Amino acid sequence: MDLLLHGLPGPTHSFGGLSPGNTASKGAKGIVAAPRAAARQVLGLMRVVAGLGAPVGFLPPLARPDVGFLRACGFAGDDAEVLGTAAREAAPLLAAAASSAACWTANCATVATIEGEVRIVVANLAAMPHRMLESAPRLAQLRAAFAGSPVAVIAPVPAHPDLGDEGAANHHLAVGSRGSCHILVHGRAEGIPPGQLPKKHPARQTRSGSAAVARALGLAPKNVLHVRQHPLAVDGGAFHNDVLMVGAGDRILIHEAAWVEQREAFTELDRRCGRLRVAVIGTRDLPLAEAVRCYLFNSQLLKTAEGWVLVAPEECASGDGARVIERLKADSFIDRAVTVPVRESMMNGGGPACLRLRLPIGIEYLAPGLRLDEARLAWLEAWVDRHYRAKLALEDLADPALTQESAAALAELATWTGIPVP
């Protein structure tokens, strides 16, 4: 099975409403967050996935708040002065500096195997300032995570708005009966008339960005299919492709409103790859707004020793999402489904699939300190309980004690994992 590398929310997990187009994030802005519960929930997800037989690793949180970013924005003084002035004069910048969004590792990179070599291109995340802060430390972290292995970790393509890259959330490797094809999904491209672009929300991934990533990975053009997100999907809250599609191996679960010219895209995939098992869910069975709310398509789809398992958010345990799952089981698209509580992540717009990066390698390639088993999960839970606050409001981000608490937590974690804080 593929290695599933999960992210972990950090001690500054909060609801800053920083992502235009992410309806959950904008709707939760200002709500008091629960960092300890957020991290515990994600560790629970890791335990479920590991229990299904998948090799599971994790990436530690990045250092937050990023006081260096705030200093670069012109705030001066010691840390307390920088945080206090930023809170008074530019609260959104402070929220960006403290964002724990790096937990969504599906955004951190795009992965491919070329001539037997696994290559990882780190995402530039150029569309959102709070995410763009992740690219440099993530590059360092991933290089440390795979140091001494044959995995090649490649720097992001330039962080230019026209080269926006959101990582594996907009990438899927379809493996059919005759071959494979990398599906790269973009929301905007040069030459598209304004009337055919989203009207309410920004389209983050660009076709030029996808093409640049494909070149950086060394993908042959014949093995790449570029498709475009439907503008109605973006305006409906599908800010990444993985909000309306999930796949693994020869299986693809997708909403009918996910792509422009979707039928033609699957005809081309059939020509290139051969037989694929595709389940298209119609708006009548799962309205777009409900698909975005329950995040059915942001589940993890896993091939296990006991068959295909869908690891879905608990929001899919009832209503339209649950009915679709029952149909998928009746059609033998999946053998069973497990629902998991990741509410704190969901409130910021991240479900079970957002929280993992899938890599086509064994866990032995990963630094030993990042490999998880039951004992190490238990240690992490105790670490979270020692260091994370039960509640965190946006005004708490200016508390210099929080910065010190976060630094102490990450320093202890770095000693335990052997991976330095980037």
334: nearest Cα among 290, 293, 279: 279
Residue 354, pLDDT score: 98
Tokens of 64: 């937050």
Q: What is the mean pLDDT of residues 341-370?
A: 97
Domain ranges within the chain, ordered by starting residue: 3-64+99-417
Q: What is the mean pLDDT of residues 304-319?
A: 97
242: nearest Cα among 314, 316, 296: 296
| pTM, to two decimals | 0.97
- Residue 154, pLDDT > 90, answer yes
* Ordered DSSP codes for 53-98: T--EEEEPPPPSS-HHHHHHTT--SSHHHHHHHHHHH-HHHHHHHH
| Level-2 CATH architecture, domain 3-64+99-417 | 5-stranded Propeller (3.75)
> What is the maximum alpha-carbon separation in the chain?
63
Q: What is the mean pLDDT of residues 39-55?
A: 98
- Active site (catalytic) residues: 166, 240, 354
* Residues 204-261: tens digit of each pLDDT: 999 999 999 999 999 999 999 999 999 999 999 999 999 999 999 999 999 999 999 9
Tokens of 77: 């003084």
| Pairing status of strand 251-255 against strand 245-248 | antiparallel
* Strand order across the beta sheet in which 307-313 lies: 300-304, 307-313, 336-340
* Residues 79-135: tens digit of each pLDDT: 999 999 999 999 999 999 999 999 999 999 999 999 999 999 999 999 999 999 999
* Residues 245-277: tens digit of each pLDDT: 999 999 999 999 999 999 999 999 999 999 999
What percent of the chain has a predicted confidence (pLDDT) above 90? 100
Tokens of 229: 């997100």
Residues 32 and 105: their CA atoms lie apart, in Å, by 24
CA distances from 73 to 23, 63, 91 (A): 28, 18, 12
Whole-number CA gyration radius for the chain: 20
Band of the pLDDT at 47, cuts 50, 70, 90?
very high
- Residue 314, pLDDT > 90, answer yes
- Give alpha helix (H) positions in 124-261: 129-132, 135-145, 207-217, 231-235
Average pLDDT over the chain, rounded to whole?
A: 97
- Residue 49, pLDDT > 90, answer yes
* Residues 334-352: tens digit of each pLDDT: 999 999 999 999 999 999 9
- The CA-based angle 230-235-239, given to 5 degrees, is 75
Residue 1, pLDDT score: 83
Contact 136, 170 (CB under 8 A): no
* Residues 60-79: tens digit of each pLDDT: 999 999 999 999 999 999 99
Q: What is the mean pLDDT of residues 360-389?
A: 98
Cis peptide before 65 (omega within 30 of 0): yes
